[in-house]
Amino acid sequence: MQLQRRLRDLLPSPLAEHCRIANARGRTIIVYVDSAAWATQLRFLSDQLAKALLGEGGGRLQVRVQPLSRPSARRRGRPPLRLSPDNARLLEETAEAVSDEALGRALRRLARRGSAGE
């Protein structure tokens, strides 16, 4: 936990909220971030952070993306989104007009889901 606190103290506040130390072995620290955007920012700082966290000899900071698990909309009490009959009809019409067969099939499947009330 002390290493985690030190990491958070060294990082700018928006970035610090998205990083957590997963493992520290020898001269290697593995840090999880919750998106590729934050991983890119952290990688720019990785050499400086490794020196600050592991001392002058430095070491290696490995950055890995691991999204935080978030409850689905259904578990948070929100009703699932529904496709209106008008939008289902519009998808059917669009499927008839497109020349790409795979896209047409996908649009028809989506339209059927809306009309079935799933």
List the chain domain ranges. 2-65, 85-116
% of the chain surpassing 70 pLDDT: 85
Q: What is the mean pLDDT of residues 77-93?
A: 83
CA 95 from centroid of its chain's CA atoms: 31
pLDDT, one tens digit per residue, over 43-58 is 999 999 999 988 888 7
> Residue length, the chain?
118
pTM of the model: 0.56
Q: What is the mean pLDDT of residues 28-51?
A: 93
Could you tell me the pLDDT band of residue 18, with boundaries at 50, 70 and 90? very high
Question: Which amino acid is residue 10, in one-letter code?
Answer: L
Q: String of b and e for 85-95 (b: at least 16 CB within 10 Å)?
A: eeebeebbeeb
What's the Cα-to-Cα distance from 44 to each of 11, 50, 118, rounded to whole Å?
Answer: 12, 12, 45
Fold adopted by 2-65: GMP Synthetase; Chain A, domain 3 (3.30.300)
pLDDT, one tens digit per residue, over 63-84 is 999 987 665 555 566 676 778 8
